[in-house]
Amino acid sequence: MSMFESSKNNWYLCIDPGSSGGWCHYTENSITSGGIEELAELKFSLKTTVVIEKVPPFVGRAIPSSSSFKLGYSYGWLVGLFQGQGMKVVLVSPQTWQKTMGIGTKGSDTTTVWKNKLKAEAQRRWPEKKITLQTADAFCILSHSIQHNL
């Protein structure tokens, strides 16, 4: 049974809320994807489950507080946007969905190397789609959502 067959009654909108993040929207008939900046203009069915990567409360010393604020603001805005429309919103931590990928952890990899591993795994799982660094995490979150029937 393919991923499509196992989840044909579930629609998902999976979102990586980072500033260079992306989304993918899955229905029984199609998968579309794009950049985070397009989300406010799109319309989704109430039967869509929105799965958003959970933002940690502390992102580390290497990230300026202004960037952390922007990420938190974007994250809160997205959660509110979809909950306000009456849609089911599920928050999933990066560690949780990344475990589903079965490619290990970032460990000592640079962020670039790790992101490219995630992109390659998303492309392997969704060979018919053009996966970009912007949409790779969203496609990985989609794989997690389908596998766990969120």
In this prediction, residue 150 carries a pLDDT of 87
Count of structural domains, the chain: 1
Residue-wise pLDDT tens digits, 107-124: 888 888 999 999 999 999
Closest CA to 141 of 38, 25, 57: 25
> Domain range for residue 9?
3-147
Q: 1 pLDDT exceeds 60?
A: no
Tell me, what DSSP letter sits at residue 63?
S
In this prediction, residue 25 carries a pLDDT of 94
In this prediction, residue 58 carries a pLDDT of 62
In this prediction, residue 22 carries a pLDDT of 93
Contact at 8 Å (CB) between 51 and 45? no
Contacts of residue 42, Cβ cutoff 8 Å, sequence gap at least 6: 25
In this prediction, residue 62 carries a pLDDT of 59
Cα 82 from Cα 88, distance rounded (Å): 8
CATH of residue 59's domain is: 3.30.420.10
Residue-wise pLDDT tens digits, 32-71: 999 888 877 888 888 899 999 988 766 666 566 666 677 7
Place of tokens 């789609």: 129
In this prediction, residue 19 carries a pLDDT of 76
Residue-wise pLDDT tens digits, 88-105: 999 999 999 999 889 988
